A and B are shown apart, each in its own frame.
Chain A
Amino acid sequence: MRLVLEARPERSRIAAWLSPALAIIATIVLGFLLFSLLGRDPWQAMHVFFVKPLENRYGVGEWLLKASPLMLCGVGLAVGYRANVWNIGAEGQLTLGGIFAGGLALVFDQSAGWWLLPAMIVAGAIGGMLWAAIPAFLRTHFHANEVLTSLMLVYVATYLLSYLVHGPWRDPQGFNFPQSKMFADAALWPNLFAGTRLNRGFVVALACVASTWLFMSRSVAGFEMRVAGLAPAAARYAGISSARVVWIGMLVGGACAGIAGVNEVAGPLGQLQPSISPGYGFAAIIVAFVGRLHALGILLASLLMSLLYLGGEAAQVSLALPSSVTGLFQGTLLFFLLAADVLVHYRVRIAGRSQAPAALG
């Protein structure tokens, strides 16, 4: 007996949604093995990782708070990914969004009113879009691969932020710490529920998820993006401009990541620091794929990924595991997902001895 992979007549929609579930199960199984090998009780470790962070109100708030930049970056990236525009630089675009919004908050400081937060959202989106426009321009004019350019710009963005908080924007009363002044109240999202840090930025994130869903599934431009991704020759045939597709893909990704940056600085941070994201922009790539590049899927995937962040922190505290355990879980999940995706186009058949037909004659 052996297992045979057999091409499906058409791609399976059920398998497309089942494969993330399969990947999650495989990741958990591997987690069990890993914890056992490290000499921890795997049941207890799993409890610490996946249950304990959600045991109280504050924990649930943290969970949703951390999910929001992931879903924002994820849905933005997915718009590009559906059209084969590979923006890897959401982390940098998020940073620029934070810088633009933070700059606005610092300039107006105490003199601002209710309009400051909406203005910061707009400024952050513009910042992210500007940063994403660079790879878009290089791709459409010089055929430069956007994977490389957008990725490299992440590091440029990090240094730019680092320069600002070490230099011109450093808080004069901050004991020389490399960080800006705390923002005024007008530049901070009000909390949604007492006893949590969850704020109105989460509502903005949900609105963005809904908008990108509407854009991709109902608008003509979104339809053109999907055609460009599924069949480039058909897109040319239909008169869909490939340059426009690249621009839309990069700019939507940049805008969403920029808004995620606004949410970070106007939410849990309340100021500019040398780093405003623990890699949300990169983790969002995994979120986008685990979520099948679909808005609802990404929403769920961002909740899972957020739990991995919280679980990783809890594991550091209560199990004395290194912080890299979070990255390890993320990587494993993506690995299994890509492997399970084979099932979308193939099915497994158990074959007896094949290839016997003429031998018996």
Chain B
Amino acid sequence: MGDTVTIGPVPRLELIEISKRYPGVVANDGVSLRVMPGEIHALLGENGAGKSTLMKIVYGVVHPDAGIVRWNGEPVAIGNPARARKLGIAMVFQHFSLFETLTVAENIALALPAARARRGLPARIREVSSQYGLPLEPGRYVHTMSVGERQRVEIVRCLLQSPQLLILDEPTSVLTPQAVQRLFETLRTLAGEGCSILYISHKLDEIRALCHRATVLRDGKVTGECDPRQESSSTLARMMIGTELPRPRHRAAHPTGAPLLRVRGLSRAADDPFGTSLVDIDLDVHGGEIVGIAGIAGNGQRELLAALSGESQATPADSVLLADEPIAHLDAAARRARGVAFVPEERLGHGAVPDMSLAENALLTTRRRLSRHGFIDASAAREYASATLREFAVKAQGPDAAASSLSGGNLQKFIVGREMRQSPKLLIAAQPTWGVDIGASAQVRQALLDLRDAGAAVLIVSEELDELFEIADRIAVMSHGRLSAAKPAQDTNAEEIGMLMSARLENVAHAA
């Protein structure tokens, strides 16, 4: 016990040998962690390393099976989030918990004790939000706000509780590079005032730029503790995944003459009142090149993907052309028959049916070729699934395993493999490495590059700029339902793309 006795300042939060088991997995295995007052502490690890479970334990959402939590030196039992808030712990979740049909002030009032939710709240919101450089209009409705602004609401809601510890779970995945810098300034100000910050991320550069200490988790265990400012990205990566960061081989693109996919003046009103309408979209994707579409979530990417994959139809029919054939009016199956493959963002429930076997999931997009006279060729389907598992190094029990039994990365490899093995002319992939561990991400990216080199047109929609710069040959930006002209990746940079992400394109067009 000698090394847990501290001399000098008392840690704000101390976790000692925390363990939490779920059926089938050990989420946390004897995890210890110490956060000092005013410290920005990184919790680093891949998806599934146990970061979120640990934070839910601190916030009282999950109860540990074993271990001790000390708060300002005192052992405490955090039975529920209300107790956590009372202690002074606040948390900004990865998926926001805001009501879209309520205003900012109403949303914040809901989280505060009744006495403080009365009059004067809008003034308090303005005061706190400007103090930390997070401008907010209390009377605005949440559904009119961008994702970055919604995150501001979440953070201001936490700050109004004057927390001693602020937990942020992957806060930058929805922000432009510029907004990330502003967020970091806010967090540094907060830390300077003595508030401790627990910063959860898998982005190494951010952690090196922001955090004072880092605790690294792998498979539910602590694999390292360090000062990230003293480490390089590759030493951090080694602690996080156990090996060097893999890099795909990127050769120059050899685009063919005429574009395979041509989008001309595609406009489509949103089906969903909170969706984004597509406005006059032009886009070319040639065979043998990867075009990347950047943008903050909710700017029309989902709608564009649906209109291109055939999950929704658009008029006129020739607003989307595949090898000069109008396809905008066709459904997804008809487009697939013409050589369009699609890897959606959501794996379970969209790209795969969770309760069905991998063989049946293979049928999802191959049922026309793997059937005879309207009846399924079950052995061909199993063979197709087995071959996909083999060729794309998917870890699964076999073609009869349920899709839900695979890890996110393995299921993604399976879906990408299933689509690629049909030798598509055009592959559309949304967030191909979202929530996928680093090793599987590298494999998926390599597979996309290989498909490109085989002459297919590849279109990737991603919120991760690093990913786009790594594999895309040209990059366009989606903002407010409009798409900028695609620029060669080597002629642009994160700064410029970031500007386009937050700008209204019509203004940019005028300025240019």
Contacts and interface: CB of A to CB of B under 8 A. Distances in A.
Interface of A: 6-11, 218-221, 223-224, 226-227, 230-231, 233-234, 236-241, 347, 354-361
Interface string B397-420: 000001011000000000000000
B352 to A, nearest CB: 7
Given A234-B350, A358-B78, A359-B77, A219 B375 contact: yes
Interface centre among B65, B344, B367, B371 (most CB of A within 10 A): B367
Given A237-B350, A355-B63, A223 B360 contact: yes
Given A10-B404, A218-B376, A219-B375, A237 B342 contact: yes
Interface of B: 22-24, 63-70, 75-79, 309-311, 331-336, 342, 344, 346, 349-356, 360, 363-365, 367-368, 371, 374-376, 378, 402, 404-405
Contact of A361 (B63, B70, B309, B363): B70
A357 B310 contact: no
A239 B360 contact: no
A223 B69 contact: no
Q: Which 4 A-B pairs have the closest CB atoms?
A: A239-B333, A361-B75, A239-B332, A358-B77
Contacts of B360: 223
Given A6-B23, A237-B309, A354 B333 contact: no
B351 A234 contact: yes
B351 A358 contact: no
30 contacts: A9-B23, A10-B355, A10-B405, A218-B378, A220-B367, A220-B368, A220-B375, A227-B353, A230-B355, A231-B353, A233-B349, A233-B350, A234-B349, A234-B350, A234-B351, A236-B332, A237-B342, A237-B351, A238-B332, A239-B310, A239-B332, A239-B334, A241-B331, A356-B77, A357-B64, A357-B65, A357-B66, A358-B67, A358-B75, A358-B76
A355 B63 CA distance: 6
Contacts of B333: 238-240
B191 to A, nearest CB: 26
A355 B77 contact: yes
Contacts of A10: 355, 402, 404-405
Contacts of B353: 227, 230-231, 234
Contacts of A240: 333
Nearest to A347: B23
Contact of A357 (B24, B67, B365): B67
Contacts of B349: 231, 233-234
A237 B349 CA distance: 10
Nearest to A221: B374
Nearest to B76: A358
A305 B378 CA distance: 34
**Dominant SS at the B interface?**
mixed
B263 to A, nearest CB: 20
Nearest to A240: B333
A221 B367 CA distance: 10
Contacts of A6: 23
A8 B24 CA distance: 9
Given A9-B24, A220-B371, A237-B342, A230 B364 contact: no
A348 to B, nearest CB: 12
Contacts of B344: 237
A221 B363 CA distance: 12
B363 A223 contact: yes
A219 B375 CA distance: 4
Contacts of A347: 23
Contacts of A226: 356
A358 B65 CA distance: 10
B69 A358 contact: yes
Nearest to B69: A358
A358 B364 contact: no
A239 B70 contact: no
Given A223-B363, A239-B332, A358 B24 contact: no
B355 A237 contact: no
A228 B44 CA distance: 39
A115 B70 CA distance: 85
B87 to A, nearest CB: 12
A361 B402 contact: no
Contacts of A9: 22-24, 405
Given A230-B353, A355-B79, A357-B63, A238 B68 contact: no
Contact of B376 (A8, A223, A355, A356): A223
Contact of B375 (A8, A218, A231): A218
Contacts of A218: 375-376, 378
A223 B367 contact: yes
A347 to B, nearest CB: 8
B456 to A, nearest CB: 19
Contacts of A355: 63, 77, 79
A238 B365 contact: yes
Nearest to B343: A237
A234 B364 contact: yes
A355 B333 CA distance: 51
Contacts of B346: 233
Contacts of A237: 309, 311, 332, 342, 344, 350-351, 364-365
B331 A239 contact: yes
B354 A231 contact: yes
Interface centre among A9, A226, A238, A354 (most CB of B within 10 A): A238
A243 B335 CA distance: 18
Nearest to B312: A236
Contacts of A11: 355
A227 B361 CA distance: 9
Contacts of A220: 367-368, 371, 374-376
A357 B332 contact: no
B490 to A, nearest CB: 34
A357 B69 CA distance: 8
B77 A357 contact: yes
A218 B374 CA distance: 9
Nearest to B333: A239
A129 B116 CA distance: 62
Contacts of B64: 357
A361 B350 CA distance: 46
Contacts of B352: 231, 234
A155 to B, nearest CB: 35
A9 B332 CA distance: 32
A210 to B, nearest CB: 15
B277 to A, nearest CB: 19
Contacts of A227: 353, 356, 364
A4 to B, nearest CB: 11
A230 B371 CA distance: 21
Contacts of B336: 239
Contact of B68 (A223, A241, A361): A361
Nearest to B344: A237
Contacts of B79: 355
A275 to B, nearest CB: 39
A226 B356 CA distance: 9
A346 B79 CA distance: 23
A331 B21 CA distance: 40
Contact of A219 (B23, B24, B69, B376): B376
